[in-house]
Structure 1
């Protein structure tokens, strides 16, 4: 399922989340510029050099931990240079879910939380395959931690997704609205089974255990970094069809104030 938006406004601009997105896009544009300068014949070799230089290579981190430590950070901002799909998918998830996690934690705590989840993701992949010489790049591990935090804080927040079942278009249309926990649980389960299925394999591919490591780290760290305890109240999912209109202000009604509390009882999915 591809998420498209949520209905949970933030109370203050998510500057750190925006900066992370901009940084990822700028790094990708920079890599594309270097590849274009190298020309068609040298682009593949140049791309491999960039990935080896700035990506996280598990074997290198194990053999030379101090020298390879900076790549644990730089790899969070590098993406597959062969196309926009890797970057676009990651930034879509970060745009939808990251702003509300930053809103709950505060900008500085969110920045540290994001980096720690990314580092935990990298370590998880290294532990599973310490002899790998395939460079690991992408923000997916850190974003997995953001997803876990969002699911913990706002499990019933309505998320609009692209309807993946063609016959249901006749009943619900092109878009569906599902509670956040369904989207995030599906993400975790898919990565879990894909990761278990990849054990014993060789070569490159998706770093599923990095996703799982970042997710577990986010689930464990979210309450440590939470600024408002308990988290703010939010709209609960009630139906499959998304509403006709979204809230007028992206920063809550009014700006800087939390949304009105709903008279419903205690959320069994909350803390």
Structure 2
């Protein structure tokens, strides 16, 4: 297990990461609606969660479901979470890594980037999952894309995080994120918790790594300064 806590990289291109906070706000509101308002969590997950077999036409939901065209559930599922721990974990990652990735892209491009990574993660899950009838929910795929972008932008920035059973460590991003990615990879191919969309995590990470060179600002002074500091730092 790995939970990021703080990175300390200042924002240079904007004062406030509005898009990151907006996406976090949507996830929190969706969680509150899911569990504390009608029609209840089962109905919300059935209506807005992503079910691969429904997208592929091998299963049909009861009349009235999903609440949106099935293709849109590739995106709507991103904002749903199955538990408070699920929500808090994803929001921690988005809070620590999202602001600096947004700073390197701009508000609107970051929102598009996040949604593209999330939708791609949903598709990766759909084509690989052995249980296509189970709904997929959660921001993990979009967050994984953000994590990949952060790794490419700031590989040597040191991050405070909790590892394994809560051990606090302060390590470079390539170690912390590398450890996280190794856990996702091992869980996907060696048999992790069946209730987690491991291949969605990997799919979102891959698409994030592909998109960041295309969607970042043409010249990022934050990245330039960090790279200069890295070259001057003792090895």
Are 1:29 and 2:32 an aligned pair? yes
Matched pairs, number? 223
- Using the TM superposition, give the Cα deviation of residue 67 of structure 1 relative to its aligned residue in structure 2, in angstroms: 3.4
- Using the TM superposition, give the Cα deviation of residue 7 of structure 1 relative to its aligned residue in structure 2, in angstroms: 1.2
- What corresponds to 1:117 in structure 2? 117
- What corresponds to 1:48 in structure 2? 42
- What corresponds to 1:74 in structure 2? 76
CA distance in 2, matches of 1:96, 1:122: 23
- Residues 232 and 132 of structure 1, relative CA distance in 2, 3 Å threshold: same
Taking the TM superposition and a 5 Å limit, the aligned residue runs for 1:111-150 are 111-129=111-129, 132-150=132-150
- Using the TM superposition, give the Cα deviation of residue 188 of structure 1 relative to its aligned residue in structure 2, in angstroms: 1.3
CA distance in 1, matches of 2:210, 2:133: 29
CA distance in 1, matches of 2:70, 2:90: 24
- What corresponds to 1:227 in structure 2? 217
| Secondary structure, aligned partner of 1:176 | strand
- Residues 124 and 187 of structure 1, relative CA distance in 2, 3 Å threshold: same
CA distance in 1, matches of 2:77, 2:230: 45
- What corresponds to 1:242 in structure 2? none
- What corresponds to 2:8 in structure 1? 7
Deviations 1:224-244 (A, max 9, x none): 0010436624558xxxxxxxx
Where in structure 2 are there 5+ consecutive unaligned residues? Answer: 59-67
CA distance in 1, matches of 2:203, 2:106: 23
Q: TM-score, normalised by structure 2?
A: 0.85
Deviations 1:109-156 (A, max 9, x none): 111111110011001001113761100000000000000000000000
Question: Would the aligned equivalents of 2:156 and 2:230 in 1 still touch at CA under 8 Å?
Answer: no
- What corresponds to 2:65 in structure 1? none
- Of 55, 59, 83 in structure 2, the residue corresponding to residue 61 of structure 1 is 55
- Of 193, 208, 213 in structure 2, the residue corresponding to residue 218 of structure 1 is 208
| Secondary structure, aligned partner of 1:63 | coil
- What corresponds to 1:104 in structure 2? 104
- Residues 32 and 142 of structure 1, relative CA distance in 2, 3 Å threshold: same
Calculate the aligned-residue CA RMSD, in Å. Answer: 2.8
Question: Would the aligned equivalents of 1:104 and 1:228 in 2 still touch at CA under 8 Å?
Answer: no
Where in structure 1 are there 5+ consecutive unaligned residues? Answer: 39-45, 167-173, 237-260
Are 1:209 and 2:212 an aligned pair? no
CA distance in 1, matches of 2:230, 2:209: 28
- Of 236, 252, 262 in structure 1, the residue corresponding to residue 229 of structure 2 is 262
CA distance in 1, matches of 2:233, 2:105: 22
Q: TM-score, normalised by structure 1?
A: 0.74
CA distance in 1, matches of 2:76, 2:165: 38
Q: Which has the larger radius of gyration?
A: 1
CA distance in 1, matches of 2:189, 2:105: 33
Question: Would the aligned equivalents of 2:50 and 2:74 in 1 still touch at CA under 8 Å?
Answer: yes
